[in-house]
Structure 1
Amino acid sequence: MHLSADTFQHLLDSNPQTFFAYDIAAGEVCYVSAAYETLFPGFRCEDVDADLPRLLSFLPPDDQTYVRHCLGQLAAGHLCDDLLLRLQPRLNVPMRWLAMKAQRSTAPDGRLLLTGTIEDVTVEQEYLRNADKYMAKKNTTLEILSHDLAGPFSMLQQLAEFLEEKTQTLQDAQVQKMLRVMRDTCRDSVNLIRDFVDGEFMDSAAVQLKRTRVDLVLALRQVVETYQVSEHLVAKHFEFRPTQPTLFVEIDNNKFLQVINNLMSNAIKFTREGGHITVGLTQHPSHVLVTVADDGIGIPAHLLPVLFDRFTPARRPGLRGEKTTGLGMHIIGTIVRLHHGHIWVESEENVGTTFYIKLPATAGAAG
């Protein structure tokens, strides 16, 4: 079946997406669909070339750098992911999110074109970002509660073991049985709490990555602030130290924040009461560096080379007797590698431990 040119034009003009074609050599837009005027009220299709500098100015500076880089890569023939861009709020118009899909193609007359679509995805992005925010808060709260709930059970378990030993001379079978029940119940309760939290982490880690462009400063600050609100529950102090106000990276936000949560959970387990746990974020020319540091008991030197192995022999109970599966660090390493990143650790016994995560930088990363 063949569509007439008029029918095809009607389909384009009635579509809520804005279709465009950009002549790379001429540096001009050779086609834009009618939805352009709805997407940008007050602008007209016939003036699109003159409007481009003004439209670009609506983007935050780091997004301007990002879109120039990506479109340049496309024009040079390199593949590029779909672009997710922010439109800065102006007058009575709130901030909006735009999704741009583009590809390099060749016109019938041989011209090289960038063709694609632009659409407003503000509603979807606000939903996803709220979902990510509350998912991260849920994971952080689970970690805090697991330590807060497991601590008393571990203490009762140790108390039961102590009383069981001290009352053996009484030769009272009923007392010994009650203390064993108390000991085993506390141990099983601690294991149940940790199994639940570990299961949440492992189930999520098995899902395929879905990367988006994320302000890592904002994401990490929200995680650390949740821990700071609950400092009294875990008897530790938390701090966040970014080197700039915004820093964009392309990550699976939910999974990467689970990595951070798991590292902070380990720091809590091996840091004494009153200790300090600090998350840092630094921008470098080709990468960003995330650090999670504590002043806890440290990791013995002979365990460092096998720390990220599956079922690592480096697993050990926390200071309150918290259990470990030996899978956490292996999964962390796997998620970081899936992000094309690198993770390593430096530690000294009775001084502290610092985990380093290096991630590829994104064009226009720093704001």
Structure 2
Amino acid sequence: MSTDFLTRLADVDTPAPTPDLARVQRRARALRRNRRARTVGASVGLAAVLTVGGVVLPQVGGGAPTPQAGAFPLSLGVAPAVAGEGTTECQTGWSEWVAPDAWPADPRITGAAAVLADAPWAATSAGVHLTRMDCTSALPVAVLVSEEPVRGVTVWRDVADPFPEGTDGVADVPVRGAAGRLRDLGTSAYVSWSEDGARWMASGSGLGTTDLLDVLDALRFDGDALDPGSVPSGLDAAATGATRTERETLRWTVTYGDTAPVEGADGVHRTPEGTGVTLEAMAGPQEPPEVVASYDAAGVRLVDVAGHRASFAPWGDQSTDVGGWLRWQAEGVTYVLSGGLPVEDLAALAATVTPAAVDDPSLTGLPQY
């Protein structure tokens, strides 16, 4: 099995090859810059996502079974129960750029607008990208994490069956006193069971499947509310926030320096290392940054950004590639800073994030992409 961070997330056999995620995401950015991605269909190419047995995960070099009817293609999202009812409602959506003259009237934009106060590069673009899906993804009801070593467990309630018919490698296991199913991918495992009239799902990484099941058995819930006293020793419960009701995501984006993907002789689009960064901000409920630790704990680093815990996920093989995504939350806003820099440099830049005025001519006068 490859040691690449994203490959380890989902090592599955498939008749069709899957492209490198970094390439897909960089290509998606290029498409947005060229205004060629206006709609989001069942494959959701704009979001650069793949569906693995109903669970949406980023991958490299592996593959995914053909999504079943009702598959829910949202980036790093989990399908809500309605997506498993055989309808196509959760497979469609659309996206567009929001005109700068509309920014001041939308509190979701004014609340998320931010800049780097001390960037070593000039801002080269600033825009707001709107994506509207016909279903909202399910937000977790519990996110557990440890920092040394990094381990993660995430739990969702009221979701669609993550293991549709034909999903391989699924075993029957007892979970929380019920009959459950488990799929072990090596560096991460996924569990599904029914409880209190709803289907639940959990992901875990950095711990064995027996330990994962023990953690799940120990947790106590009152509906969607986790009893913090039931969290096993050695794990910390991250704040999960409010339930998502909005089907729209507004993403404030500012790029600094030369971050445009460059196509090499091999046809792969790569972001120049160390020559710029992209800052994104989204107001409203989003998954906690620690969720990524439950997908591949070995590839994740947890660091501090101005008193907030941030997760760093590398772009590729950490032994050869530099850069990745740094994600954190502060005062109801989720931030992502990405670039070809070491995590320490990204964290230092992230600490300089400051609110921005959406009518600032130095921003509104820039290209949106």
Q: Is TM more than 0.5 here?
A: no
Return the TM-score normalized by structure 1.
Answer: 0.23
Q: For CA contacts below 8 A with separation 6 or more, give which structure has more relative contact order.
A: 2
Q: TM-score, normalised by structure 2?
A: 0.23
Decide which structure has greater strand share.
2
Q: Which has more radius of gyration? A: 1
Quick check: which one's helix share is greater? 1
